[in-house]
Amino acid sequence: MSLPIEKAVEVVKQNLSEVCTVQEWADVMGFKSSRQFSKNFRDHYGVRPSKKITQIKIERVKMLINESEEVKHFIIANEIGLPDEQALYKFMKYHTGQSPSGIRQV
């Protein structure tokens, strides 16, 4: 039995380091098909699940960076399911146009 789609964002926030793809998110939510999960998600939230995962990861990175100057980028990368700080740099640069260090300065 699948969890209600209303719980999807909460579930991904709690499992952000383990949920990196829509298929993994659908699995955690208990859906048999990522296609059905995506349709239900899009109908409820108005955005694609992949876009929402990216948005949640960016929000988490910004929060962690601004929370403490001592937090290491590799720790942040692991927190959002990325392998290392280089992957974090590329992710943030691609999606926001800023490096993690640039976000800290803002």
8-51 residue pLDDT tens: 999 999 999 999 899 999 999 999 999 999 999 999 999 999 99
What average pLDDT does the structure give for the chain? 92
58 and 47 Cβ atoms separated by less than 8 Å: no
Structure letter (DSSP) for residue 21: S
pLDDT at 84: 96
Tell me how many degrees the CA angle 37-41-43 measures, rounded to the nearest 5. 120
pTM of the predicted model as reported, rounded to 2 decimal places: 0.89
> pLDDT confidence of 98, banded at 50, 70, 90?
very high
Query: In the chain, what is the straight-line distance between the N-terminal and C-terminal CA atoms, in Å?
Result: 44
